[in-house]
Structure 1
Amino acid sequence: MKNADRTLAILTLLASLLPPLITLSYAQLQDEARALLNIKQAVGLKSPNLASWSTSSNGGPCVGKWAGVTCDSSQRIIQLNMSGLSGFKLEGVLPNDAFSNLTSLRSLDFSYNRLKSPFPSLDNLKNLHDLNFSQNHFNGNLPQTIFNLPNLVELRLNENNLTGRIPEGISNLKGLELIWLGGSNKFESPLPKGLALLPNVEILTLAGSAFEENLPKEWAVWVNLTYLNLHTNKFTGDLPSEWGSKFTKLQKLSLYENHLTGKIPDSWKGMISMKEFRLRDNYLSGPVPSWLAQLANVNASVDLKCNYLRGPYPQWFSDANTWMGNCFDSASRSHDDKCRDDNTCEDGPPKSDGKKNSTAAIIGVVVAVAVFCVILVILYILWSRAYVPRSRRLRRDTGAEDWVVPQGVRRFTYKEILKATKSFDKSCEIGEGGFGKVYFGKLEDGKHVAVKRAGDFSHQGMKEFQNEITLLSRLHHRHLVRLEGFCDDKDEQILVYEYMVNGNLHRHLFEKEAVLLNWYRRLEIALTVAQGLDYLHSFAEPPIIHRDVKPSNILLDDNMAAKVSDFGISKANLDMDTHISTRPAGTAGYVDPEYFLRRHLTTASDVYGYGVVLLELITGQLSIDHKRLEDYNLVAWFKPRKIKQGIQAVIDPRLGSNFPVEAYDEVAEIAMDCTAFERGDRPTMKFVASKLEQILSGLIPPPEHFQPVSSTTSEGKASSMQVSPATSRTGATGEVLLTYIKLDPTFNATAFEPR
């Protein structure tokens, strides 16, 4: 009887406790639903994807299957994925307590949106495993609340506008494995010592920041490291020898565009898993390590150009999976021009003991150099006015002042042009653009050129023509068609450019006789064009608006590498001091739609035209096609089809099914962002180039990508029937990842220079 009484008492107690437990659980579920509705109210009212987030949904977020929400068996929210929302981005500021009631969250992804600072509190998310707020607009310091997440494994805050130092509090995150903080963030030295206290790091990206210090040898504790990306910083000193024996799992190493010195450590031959080894644009010296040949034998990409390496020519550089070639043009690099245009280098790498020079010494050197340069300029002007023959200056009787031909630009006589083009024979015509007809030319030395002859309606005043030449002479980039010279004889206005043997992109995309561009080649072209336009927008002085970005203005060389053509002062404002132009320009299908509202163009107008080109590369369809009955305009046709049916519904059917779906899906999102109606919603070309480089770095070219090219006739003119899908010496990122090694002065490198 006593046992029965005891059992009854226990049951009575449980019955009394059950209602409060049920009430507590229901209250928690209500709190989670309320938290999501607050998020929607703050940043998601414009997004149709959040229509399911409603109190009318039966059962709340879990039972009602709210978009982006994943729950566990107890109906608690464990994952919230708001990444991009298929083109409808969240915008604004999240409430500080946005996630305070979502205490069961393990995964939180708000990437590819337009969220702004301040960053919300994450203090209650003790179970959070991965955090992704990349590709947003957060600024200021790295949020301290992140360091209160004891179970965090993956941290992604890349491509924001974060600044300052990375706090030592990062050492609290003992389980951290993946750290993505690169891109448009600009963190500063010193690096936190706490990074070396994280034993499980597999990925670290801090590219594009402002770190100015030695590489930490203490990182050798990361025995599981697979990807280290520190490019485009100001790291100095030697490469840590300690890394070699520990980074045996390292597959990708990007240290290019830094100030690193010394030799490549012999201990680094212990990095036996390497697939990408990128050290270009540094001050490395010493011999080329023989063990690098082992990387070439396992299809790894090796990029060492623009250093001071010496020794006999490495035979393994002839392998199809490694590259050799020219230095980056100095105008496109963030540090000095130690690699000159003629592919020679300064006397040697700078000597460095790892210590900075004093501020006073630096200022003194800068002032002295500046004064010296001013004196040289003055002397040169005086000398040129006194001694430069009038044959080297444009005539006064044209109405323009005396003008010295820019250095590096050749002034052709009309007789030379006539001979090169067979007197502008019809058989030499290869195209016609906004400037006038374009002719194939062969100079006396055998060099092939493209000769652009101004037409009646494009003939400009001599002063404007001088300005055109002056400006074009300053534009040097590997993905811009190079100006060779000009001619002003006989009242002619002629520009002479390098000849691009494989014609233009329009032909290879849309003409029947052209050979198909494979999926990898298309992404390479997309990246290289983005880099060329970024140079015009970011590095040209004044900034240049191309005004007519389209496939016929994208030319391909003998290696099928793309270069942007048809740019110049006619594309810049007449005042030469602004990036805004009020002159009409463009081609139907590629013109910024806001131009028709405001009647002026900006660099964002080029972004729109580029976005259309990107859509054409993806779909293989014309920008305007009246045979496309669903919608003549490619932008209007593409966006709803992609959002509703996915990338498979818009991909060029000629590519078949053998293409990287995820990569092309990302590129499609970039194209849609570029073709946004409002300029403020479009990314910059710098951002686009960075994203495409990131996408390409993770892809392996198809086997047919490395077939040899045979693309010229006996006259040197392009023959589309001979163009193969072909190879270039370009690498996975679409940059000219060709290795140019500074050999000993006694070594004949001429034979190995790329064509």
Structure 2
Amino acid sequence: MDKKIQACLLVVLFQISFSGAQTNSNDVAALNSIRLLWKNTPSNWEGSDPCGGGWVGITCNNSRVVSITLSSMGLKGQLSGDIQSLSELQALDLSYNKGLNGSLPVSIGSLTKLSNLILVGCSFSGPIPDTIGSLKQLAFLSLNSNSFTGEIPPSIGNLSKLYWLDLADNKLTGTIPVSNGSTPGLDMLIHTKHFHFGKNQLSGTIPPQLFSSEMILIHVLFDNNQLTGSIPPTLGLVKTLEVVRLDRNLLSGHVPSSLNNLTSVSELHLSNNTLTGPVPDLTGMDVLNYVDLSNNSFDATDIPQWFSTLESLTTLAMEYTQLKGQLPQAMFSAPQLQTVSLRNNRINGTLDIGLNFSNELELIDLQKNFISAFVERGGYSNQLLLQGNPVCEESGATAKYCTLPQKTTPPYSTNTISNCTPVLCPPDQKASPNCKCAYPYMGILYFRAPSFSDLGNSSYYVTLEKSLIASFQTYQLPVDSVSLSDPTKDSDNYLELDLEVFPSGSERFNQSVISKIGFMLSNQTFKPSKLFGPYFFIGSEYGAFAETSIQSESSKSVSLGVIIGAACGGFVLVLVLTLAGLYAFHQKRRAEKVIAQNKSFSSWDPSKSSSSIPQLKGARWFSYNELKKSTNNFSEANTIGSGGYGKVYKGTLPNGQLVAVKRAQQGSMQGGIEFKTEIELLSRVHHKNLVSLVGFCFDQDEQMLVYEYVPNGTLKETLSGKSGIRLDWTRRLRVALCSARGLAYLHDHADPPIIHRDIKSNNILLDERLNAKVADFGLSKSMGEEKDHLTTQVKGTMGYLDPEYYMSQQLTEKSDVYSFGVLLLELITAKKPIERGRYIVREMRITIDKTKDLYGLHELLDPAIGLGTSLKGFEKYVDLAMWCVEESGTDRPTMSEVVKEIESIMQIAGLNPNAESASTSATYGGTSGGHSRHPYGHESFDYSGGYPHAKVEPQ
């Protein structure tokens, strides 16, 4: 009935034309169709005249809609196929709306005048429609940071006016398409300047045909894929190139000599491949700032001469590249040099950096080489790391260079250099660099290839801030100031900077300004200095006007009724009022249903406070009937797990997506706090190594969570042999790395940071490729304003619980690190943390003998790990695990340090840390005995109060 009433209202509305209306009726119909599919539309999207009414984000020309820019609005829903009716549309920017999902409609190819299609940082999925190739006017195609799957459409090669092509950070597979007879390909894009394809799952070779001398490309970013074969010599034909990132792939063979034809390249990243042959000769590439050739299989090579001739060099990274010989003094004298990282090579002789070294030089990392002497002249006072060299076996002056460096705090924040008097702001506001309290617009700037490595150099960020302010002023946006903070390098070697934009003349931005700020950043209108290189921005939903948006929903039907009532008379008036009454009645029933739902949520808390209602960011609410249908009426055949909380069912949503539906026992409200916690936390964290929350149900006294379906069960089941899957040494390393990356995301990138509190093998799930995902957030805690620790009731699982946390009741990220250390030990022993009165941590401590092979741990290790094979990196792995379970939290590593250590161990084992674990389930080396178990069963989701709170100590 709902859709029929809406359709009738729209038909009557658009057949009645107003003399003052300024918007084409087809465009109005299309926008209203879109509006009906979306939640949280701008507050002034009312009436039947978007152009005349000044709808936020809508730009018109001669009554036709030519632009839709709605970034960071908190929009939720799918993109209607009716968008094809906006035939004059030239720009569509829906960036930074994580609630926008589903596939792109095929009809988008009808927008033949579209020049900008920008959907950065949404949740769109499915294949990129081949009809994209029909948008012949397209200049900007930015689909990065979504969940698109399938292959790159060859039809993109038809977009002869394309300037910017960004498909990075999706789930694209297949090969890079090139033209073949009548089939187009990306080699036809001779006017395109940007190829951004990083962080996908592209495979196959890089076709030599892809590059030609006709091209004017300046960025080729193919990092973090699964590309194989050699680097094509034709790359050297594109002499306009400035940034080349081919790192973190499976590339092999010699680096082509034509590479040094690229004399305009300033950033060159070829690390983490399996390249062979001689170290490439980069002589003549005089503008090179950043070179990273680490972790390849080059021939043993003497120190190349070009080390000393590249005057623009800021960063030289060549770890694990078999360099040998003595380092010349001249290589340290490049005037801009900041970092030299040459650890794990065969460098020998005497180290003498001389007295003419660069004033910018911050780090010289020569760990694990064969340097026998060091000439200390007294002029260099920054970091010099010589641990693992023969010179460190001597005592004396070099001792300070032979210990690991201490961790430093984030090196920069705008607010630390303010000149104004600090102010105390309300809890929901922040102080700007000009000491004014306001609601800033926030997000993260990601720089894919910065030309520097000294993250503590504040002059870079001051320059960037000034550039941002200048751009905002150019577009006459009411911006008072900007704040940049917490510069960090992630595991993909991207520079991340937190950005806050503060309003001018008011404490908050309006919706129109937010859409314009978002468009400026998503459309690459802002151009940072070349120091920072290519970037993208991921904005957060701006919550300062969220209340206004919600209130607007109730006014839409009123406004609609007034317009129709004023325009119609006689029979039409009666008809419209009748339909409007039916529509209002229906809306009232929907509102009552929502209110009842919220009352149910607030009933979890005895105070009935509205603050107990989950703060949702993207999780979908399902009705009971929807989930009943998806699980075949909760049939026993669909049951895939059970526990104290209830049962778990395999379900299939109408779009074909497989889900796991965790259903509480009928009528039971046990675990309500944990239920709400898991909804709130999982709905705002998104990472490939965290289990995704699809939605939840709180309807008809039912309490259900809906997760992505993870087919290969828990790590606990695999280690115990129940799943039939065998994990050898390399697969266990990958499980460890994936789990660590998920935890590191929670600690370092969630805002505020999240502490899991229940890391254990039963909460690590394995997908179809045996990649690990961290699950079960029922006990998790957000740090909020507590920067160092959170005093809270002790909860956790026996054997994994951090003893320091138990004793002090002060929860920190290091409590998760301890639990993860126990998990690392369980991963190689397949033993429960506490088994027959023996505690695994204590057993390892008393058994380790570093003078013996495998530290003398043969009797404790799981035979399925492959004891008859070479366990490369095993000792380093054990050292890491024992580091994680140090008694004092301050002595343990951070999870980001754990990630780097595991990546290093995998490289020692000859593995690519960024490759997938397995290609198909058939390669796992085991069977499940005919009945597949599922990760959501048993105690892994038991919220019935059975978590042990007892003190845990080694016995």
Q: What interval of TM-score do these two structures reach, taking the shorter chain for normalisation? A: 0.3 to 0.5
Q: TM-score, normalised by structure 1?
A: 0.46
Higher normalized strand content (fraction of residues): 2
Higher normalized helix content (fraction of residues): 1
